[in-house]
Amino acid sequence: MTEMEAKIRTEAARLLSEGLVDVVVAFRKEDAPLRPQPAFFTNVEDLENLVYNGLCANNLANYLTRFPQETRIGMLVRGCENRSVNALVVEKQHSRQNLYLIGIPCTGIIDWRKVVALTGEDILTYEDSAHTLTVRARHQTFALPRQELLHSSCLRCVHPNPLSADIVLGEMLPEGDPALIRERVESFEALTRSERTAYFKQEAERCIRCYACREACPMCYCEECFVDHNAPRWTESGTTPAGTHAWHIIRAFHQTGRCTSCGACERACPMDIQMTYLTDKLGKDMWDSYQFAAGMDDQTQPPFASFTLDDKKHFQVGGKQS
Amino acid sequence: MKYILPKHELNALLERWSAEYAVLAPQKAGAYSEFLPFTAQSELCLEEPHNTRYPPKALFFPQSEAILKYKRNLGQLESIEAVPQKRVIFGIRPCDAKAVTLLDTVFAEGDNQDPFWLARRAETLLIGLGCNEPGATCFCTSTESGPFHTDGLDALLTDLGGEYLIELLSERAAGLFSGLESASSAQQENAQAVQTAAEQALPKAFELDGLKDKLDRVFDQDVWAQLSESCLGCGICTFLCPTCFCFDLVDEAQRDTRVRNWDTCMFRVYSLEASAHNPRPTRKERTRQRLMHKYSYWWEHAGKLGCTGCGRCVRYCPVGLDIRAMLRKASAYESEALHAN
C-alpha cells in the first residue's frame, strides 16, 4: 500500500464511519493488469480494496450524475476532476453541500497503452513511485521513467491541484505551463484548411461509434444524446464519413466552455482517436474571447450558457454594435 | 497433411496467392494491427501475442452496410447484391476463426440465410496462426477454444521459430500449399510441443462446467448491480467482440438507402421502446444481458457457448471491467449468498 493510498483510506473511513457521506467514489484494485476500476465504497470494510496510483485513469466526476442530488458523495478529485465537479455544480447536477471532495495534487495519469508497448501484456505486478513505474513482467522487470508514460493530456496539464477540495492529501504541486496546451492548438490552427480537413478525417473516420468518449466524459450527461434522437435524426448512425464527421464535430461543440481538458475521452477510445485538439481549440477560443476557463470555480456560468440584458447582439440586424 | 514453410518464403507464398485471391493479413495501422490487403511480409504483424484490435467479423459482417436502395415516391426497390471477391484471410487467430463459426449459427443456419454473410463465407479461406504465447487478457482455454484450436480454419500455422508448420484442414485450401515440403516427424513433434506449452501457459480463468445453471439462478439477484456499478455503458466490449452480432436497420432517407449497422445491448436506446418503456432500464440489466447472452442464451439457441475468450472486452474496457472476474464473482455469489439463504 502506498502512502497516498493509506491517507485516502483513512479519510474515506472517517467519512463513512462518521456518517458524513453515503458513498465514497474512488478506485478499486484491478482485475485486468494495469486497470484499476472506478468504484463506489459504502462500507469501511470494503476500503481495503481501495487503490490509488497513476494508472487510475478515469475522471471520477463522471459518476456524479449517477446519484440523486440528495446523496452525500465523497469523491476523490485530482485537478481536472475537481474542475469537472465545479462545472457540474455550475450546471446544477449536484448540490455542492452534498459533496465532500478529497483532493489529490496529481502527478499525471499513466497511459497503460504506453506501458504495454514497452513491457508487453504479461504483467504480474507494478509499483508507481514519484519518478518511476516499476513493472514486473513474466520475463523481465522494467523501470520506466514516469514522465514518458503520461497520457498526452496530462503532459499539457495546467492545473494539477484540486481547486475547491474539502481536504487536500499530499503536497500541492507547481502549476503547469499554459503555453503547452496553447502551442498544440496553434500548431493545428497553423495548418492549411486542407491539412486540417485531412487530419480531422484521418481521426474521425476510424470511429466505431461506440460512444466511449461520450460515456467517459463527465460533461456528457444528457438524458438523450443528439445521436440517439430519431425524430428527427440529426446524423447518420453508422460508420460512414457523414456519420463519424458529424459525431466528432458536434460532440466537441457541445463541450464549448465546459471541457476541462482532462483527456478521459481519448483514454477511453478503443481506436486511439485524437479528440482533444478540437476541444482544446474551443477552450482557447473561450479564453481569448471571454477570458473564461471551465471549472475554475463552482459559480460562474460558461459564456454560452449565460446571458445579460445588455449582451452585444452584433450578429443580429438592429442589434447593439458594441 | 502437414507442410513446412521457412519464414523467408512466406512473402513469395502470399504473393502467389495474391494473383488469384485478395489476401488480407494483420498489418500495422497506427499503434495497433488490423486486417489489411497484403503488401509485403515486412508489414505483417504476426508476432503480437494477441489479436487485431478490430474484430475480423467485420470482414463478413461490416459495421455499416447498405443492403437495399429505394426510390422514394416511385415505390421502387433496388436490391444490392453481395459480389464478394475470392479471399484468403491469413493470420487469423483461432479464437476469431471459431467466432466466425459461431456467427454461422446466426446468419447461416435454418431459416436464417443471410445472403451477404453466405456470399462472403463461400468465397473466403481462413488460414490461422496459433498463439505461442497467449496474452494476459486471453482466456480461450476457458471457453472451449484454445491457442491452437482449429474450428473454422482451412489451415493452421504453428510458429516454430525459423519456420511455420502448416496443418491443412480443408480440401478447398489444398491448392494454396501445393509445392510445399511435407513436415518431418521431428518438426511435427516440435509443433506439438509448442502447442502443448501454449495451452499450459494459459490456466483456466473460470470453471465453465455448470456456469450456465449458476448464472440462470442468479438472474434476479443484486450481484449484477455490483458487477455493473462502474460500467460506462459504451459499446466497446460488444463492438470489439468477435461474436456479438446485433444490428439495427436504418433508412438513410437522404440517400435512399437502407443500411444495416452494428448495434449493442449496452446502449440505453437499444431496448428503449416507442412507448418510452425500457425493459432494460439500467446498466445492471444491460450488463446482465451481455454476460447471460454469451454464457447462457447461446447454449439455448445454438447449443454452443457464445464467447471464444479473445480478450478484447477485457483489454479495452475503459473502466477495467474483466468478464473473467465478473463470471467468477457471479458464480461465487451463486455458491455462497444464494445457498446461504
Among A57, A210, A267, select the one facing B234 at the smallest CB separation: A210
Helix (H, G, I), strand (E, B) or coil at A165: coil
Q: Which of B239, B263, B278 to mutate to test the interface with A (most CBs of A within 10 A)?
A: B239
pLDDT band, residue B16 (cuts 50/70/90): very high
- Could you tell me what percent of chain B has a pLDDT over 70? 99
Q: What angle do CA B329, B203, B292 make, to 5 degrees?
A: 35
- Rounded to whole angstroms, the Cα distance separating B317 from A322 reads 50
| Chain B residues touching A113 at Cβ < 8 A | 31
Chain-centre distance for alpha carbon B188: 28
* Least Cα separation, residue A207 to chain B (angstroms): 11
Domain range annotation of chain B: 2-200, 211-340
User: Once rounded to an integer, what is the mean pLDDT over residues B250-258?
Assistant: 90
Contact A272 B32 (CB under 8 A): yes
∠ CA(B266), CA(B31), CA(A271), 5° rounding? 20
Q: What is the dihedral of CA A234, A89, A153, A118, to 10 degrees?
A: -100
pLDDT tens figures, B189-206: 999 999 999 999 999 999
Q: Give the model's confidence band at A281: pLDDT under 50 very low, under 70 low, under 90 confident, else very high.
A: very high
Q: pLDDT band for position A318 (50/70/90)?
A: low
Residue-wise pLDDT tens digits, A209-254: 999 999 999 999 999 999 998 888 889 989 999 999 999 999 999 9
How far B241 CA lies from chain A's nearest CA (Å)?
A: 12
Helical segments of A151-297, H only: 152-155, 178-189, 193-204, 212-216, 241-253, 264-268, 276-290
Residue A233 DSSP code: B
Angle at B248 between CA B246 and CA B254, to 5 degrees: 155
How far is the C-alpha of A218 from the C-alpha of B204, rounded, in Å? Answer: 37
Confidence of residue A319 (pLDDT cuts 50, 70, 90): low
pLDDT confidence bin for A321, thresholds 50/70/90: low
Is B234 in contact with A212 (Cβ distance < 8 A)?
yes
| A118 close contact with B: CB closer than 8 A | no
Residue B254 binned pLDDT confidence (cut-offs 50, 70, 90):
confident
**Can you state the angle between helices B283-292 and B323-333, rounded to 10 degrees?**
100
Q: Note whether A214 contacts B: Cβ–Cβ < 8 A.
A: yes
Mutate to test the interface with A, among B45, B52, B131, B315 (most CBs of A within 10 A): B315
Return all residues near A19 (Cβ < 8 A) that are at least 6 apart: none
Average pLDDT over residues A23-30: 97
What average pLDDT does this structure show over B310-315?
A: 96
Q: How confident is the model at residue A138 (pLDDT cuts 50, 70, 90)?
A: confident
Burial class (CB in 10 A: 0-12, 13-18, 19+), B330: buried
Q: What is the mean pLDDT of residues B220-230?
A: 95
Q: What rounded mean pLDDT belongs to chain A?
A: 95
Of A113, A214, A239, the CB nearest to B63: A239
C-alpha grid cell, residue A182: 496553447
CB contact under 8 A, B64 and A239: yes
Q: Which H or E run contains A11?
A: helix A3-17
CA angle B251, B252, B257 (to 5 degrees): 80
Which residues, 6 or more positions from B165, have their beta carbon under 8 angstroms from its beta carbon? B2, B3, B4, B157, B158, B183, B187, B188, B190, B191
Nearest CB partner across the interface for A32, out of B32, B137, B232 = B137
Greater pLDDT, A122 or A277: A277
Instruction: Provide φ and ψ at A309, rounded to 5°.
Output: -65, -25
Q: Which residue of B has its CA nearest to A39?
A: B230
Q: Mean pLDDT across the stretch B25-30?
A: 90
Structure confidence at residue B341 (pLDDT): 54
**For residue B294, pLDDT beyond 90:** yes
